[in-house]
């Protein structure tokens, strides 16, 4: 959690979080171009727009809450159930998209975190990814 906190709170500004979020989404769209269309309602056509940067910030906030709830099972279950319901309601979102986002994070995070431990991060991200993708086609 300390490693995540070091990058999530770097600069402690919505600007840096939105920038980090945009970098992650740019990597997602490069790896899986078909996913870009899933974000049309949040202004993906202009990733520098306030709408898209706000979405990127919300995604990072959700990731932050998930990471910081890993040791609190009831909180984590409630949080991931809510996120799962949000994604089930979005046409076209599939469980495989969360696998791709996991790959993006496991590629991006080592460039941001000194002493990155892929096993620890895999153990951290896997339960979040599985719980949120549960119920998706």
**Residues in the annotated binding site:** 87
Contacts of 108 (CB under 8 A, 6+ apart): 23, 24, 27
- Picking from 19, 103, 94, the residue whose alpha carbon sits closest to that of residue 60 is 19
d(CA 47, CA 136): 26
Binding residues for heme b: 87
d(CA 79, CA 93): 18
75 HSE (CA, 13 A, CB side): 10
d(CA 122, CA 109): 11
């Amino acid at each position: 959690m300390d490693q995540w906190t070091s990058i999530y709170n770097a600069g402690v500004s919505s600007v840096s979080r939105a920038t980090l979020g945009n970098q992650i989404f740019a990597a997602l769209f490069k790896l899986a171009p078909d996913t870009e269309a899933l974000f049309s309602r949040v202004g993906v056509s202009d990733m520098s727009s306030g709408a898209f940067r706000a979405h990127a910030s919300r995604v990072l906030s959700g990731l932050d809450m998930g990471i910081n709830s890993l040791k609190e099972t009831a909180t984590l279950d409630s949080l991931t159930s809510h996120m799962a319901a949000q994604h089930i309601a979005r046409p076209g979102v599939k469980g495989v998209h969360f696998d791709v986002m996991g790959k993006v994070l496991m590629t991006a995070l080592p460039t941001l975190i000194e002493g990155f431990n892929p096993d620890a991060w895999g153990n951290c991200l896997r339960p979040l990814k599985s719980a949120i993708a549960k119920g998706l086609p």
